[in-house]
Every structure is written in C-alpha cells, then in structure tokens.
C-alpha cells in the first residue's frame, strides 16, 4: 500500500518520511534517492538515467517510473511512504495504472504550510557540503556555527535558497502539483495535514491520518 506524501519545498516531507520509517516501520521511497542509487549501482535503468543526467537533461517520467517499479518490488502488504512522486498529473495517473492491484495508493497526505513560513524555513537552511545533512540557523542550528555536527564539513546555503529563488520554486510547485491534489480529492484520497507546527505534533497528526486511511 502506498501513502503519497506531498508538500511544497521546505514543508518537511523528508523529515516526516524519515520519522514514519524510524518510528512506525514504514518503508520510505524517495525517487531522488532511488534514482541516485540505481545510477551508482549501474543497473540497467540506472545506466539509462545516468546517460540522460550526464547530458544535463531531466530524467523523463517513464524512466522515473521504471526506477520506482524496481524499488517497490512485489510485496502488497508493505506500507510505502512515497516522497517526491508524483510531481505532476501525468505521473499521478500513470502511477495508478502501474501499481493498481499490487501497491494501491490508499492515501495522499498533504503537508500544508503557509508560504511565508516556507520562505523563512528555506532561507535559513544550511546544508552540509560533505554528507548532505540539513540544519537551520534558528530552528536547528549546528553545535559549531558553519560546521556539520555529523561529519565536520562546512555548511553552505544552496544557491536556490535565497528568498527570490524560493518564491519562483514555490510558483512552479503550485502550478504543477495543484492538479495532483485535485486528482486525489476527486478520489477521496486527499488528506490535509497542518505542517506549520512542531515536528512531533506534525508527526502525530500525520500518523493519525495514515492510520485512518489504512483501516
């Protein structure tokens, strides 16, 4: 069974998906992580994706879907948190066709966060240049300013984490994903979760929504 976890950049999808995996035992699948894994392992679909990425092109939907199919496997009882997919209506429709009967989508959980809060979150985000760990200048600062707690590498601000770039990213996200949310609303799978609170509170609300969907 698949739980589609949606939310704008900075809404906290990755954090909540990790918590659902750690605390509830659900399996998290991030299409971005899965794509990089297959490229590194040199699988057939990984080689195909690697060639596309090497040309500086976006990996097309059919290749992303093949990566997802490889990751899902054939265990229909497994509860999967799908983070980062679908990103558009075409992906949502194709996902339904591919997983129907084996891994049905039983819930779309939407972490809804105010735009101003997202901009504040992302503009204060700092990412480790070594291991990729994420920190925040006020909400989750490192023990030593500018240095990663986990590996000791320098923390950097991503170029697309300035306020103007964030606004553009949010506009792009809204345009692409609002039809996806409508798609799941029409199928009575949509569930809004307030993503503006504390991490544990959000987790509790999200877990409650998922439990209701699984009954």
Q: Give the catalytic positions in this structure.
A: 13, 87, 125, 158, 169
Alpha-carbon gap, residue 103 to 31, rounded angstroms: 16
Alpha-carbon gap, residue 131 to 147, rounded angstroms: 12
* 86 phi and psi angles, rounded to 5 deg: -80, 150
Q: Which helix (H) or strand (E) holds 108?
A: strand 105-112
Q: What angle is formed at CA 98 by the lines to CA 97 and CA 99, rounded to 5 degrees?
A: 100
Alpha-carbon gap, residue 168 to 158, rounded angstroms: 15
The secondary structure of residue 191, as a DSSP letter, is: E
Q: How many Å is the maximal CA-CA distance in the chain?
A: 50
In three-state form (DSSP H/G/I as H, E/B as E, the rest C), the secondary structure along 162-185 is CHHHHHHHHHHHHHHHHHHHHHHH
Q: Are strands 105-112 and 190-194 parallel, antiparallel or unpaired?
A: parallel
């Amino acid at each position: 069974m698949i739980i589609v976890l949606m939310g704008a950049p900075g809404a906290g999808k990755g954090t909540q998906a990790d918590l659902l995996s750690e605390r509830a035992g659900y399996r998290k699948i991030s299409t971005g992580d899965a794509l990089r894994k297959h490229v590194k392992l040199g699988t057939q679909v990984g080689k195909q994706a690697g060639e596309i990425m090497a040309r500086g092109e976006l990996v097309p939907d059919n290749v992303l879907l093949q990566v997802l199919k490889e990751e899902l496997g054939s265990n229909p009882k497994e509860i999967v948190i799908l983070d980062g997919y679908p990103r558009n209506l075409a992906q949502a429709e194709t996902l339904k066709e591919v997983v129907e009967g084996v891994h049905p989508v039983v819930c779309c959980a939407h972490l809804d966060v105010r735009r101003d809060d997202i901009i504040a979150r992302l503009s204060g985000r700092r990412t480790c240049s070594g291991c990729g760990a994420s920190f925040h200048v006020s909400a989750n600062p490192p023990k030593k300013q500018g240095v990663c707690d986990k590996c000791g590498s320098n923390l950097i601000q991503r170029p697309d984490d300035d306020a103007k770039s964030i606004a553009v990213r949010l506009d792009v996200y809204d345009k692409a994903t609002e039809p996806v949310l409508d798609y799941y609303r029409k199928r009575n799978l949509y569930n809004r979760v307030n993503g503006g609170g504390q991490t544990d509170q959000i987790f509790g609300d999200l877990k409650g929504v998922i439990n209701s969907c699984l009954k």
